[in-house]
Amino acid sequence: MIVVEGHSDKALVTDMGFPEKQIKIGSGKGKVLESVNKNQATIGIIDEDPYSVQPSDLKKYIEKDSRRTIKLLARKDDDSKRLIQISPRLEDWLYSRARQNQIDPRSFGLPKYPEDLHNILRVDKKENFHRFLNELIKVDDEMGTLKKWISEVI
């Protein structure tokens, strides 16, 4: 199972080719951690959110691997419990990856700034958002790493 914080995260994982039935929305970092801790063969995807209060359970995880803006974390006492941490949050990460690959979100009809994307309710329902994600998935190395880390667990 793949547990994500919200609908936009689910859209990303679905567009990577993982079946919807394997993806659960945890509605926040604490709920994602709770699901990962309770279930076998489960990986969680969370935002770093460096300026937010962090769930205390996060201290039980250590870094196993990392790239520029994503980290693979494993629980200290159970290596099978895995989290992927996106920095600093999904929308900023997507725009950073787009910039890295010379992709302009505006060419997909998306806002110029990640904060504005974050404020669009249910952006996951918009076809242009999926076209943007699919373009990133095709060309970005960190997207490839994210997909690989998920595949290693489920």
> CA 83, CA 121: separation in Å to the nearest integer?
25
pLDDT at 154 over 90: no
pLDDT of residue 112: 98
Tokens of 79: 């290596």
Q: For 65-118, write each residue's pLDDT tens digit.
A: 999 999 999 999 999 999 999 999 999 999 999 999 999 999 999 999 999 999
Q: For 30-72, write each residue's pLDDT tens digit.
A: 999 999 999 998 999 999 998 899 999 999 999 999 999 999 9
Going through the chain in order, the beta strands assigned E by DSSP cover 2-4, 23-25, 43-47, 61-66, 70-75, 78-86
pLDDT at 27 over 90: no
pLDDT at 119 over 90: yes
Q: How confident is the model at residue 8 (pLDDT cuts 50, 70, 90)?
A: very high
CB-CB contact of 9 with 90 (8 Å): yes
SS3 helix, strand, coil % of the chain, rounded to 5? 50, 20, 30
* CA 115 distance to own-chain centroid: 16
Q: Considering Cα of 93, then 13, then 145, then 42, what sign does the dihedral take?
A: positive
Q: Which residues contact 17 (CB under 8 A, 6 or more apart)?
A: 147
CB 88: neighbour CB atoms within 10 A?
A: 17
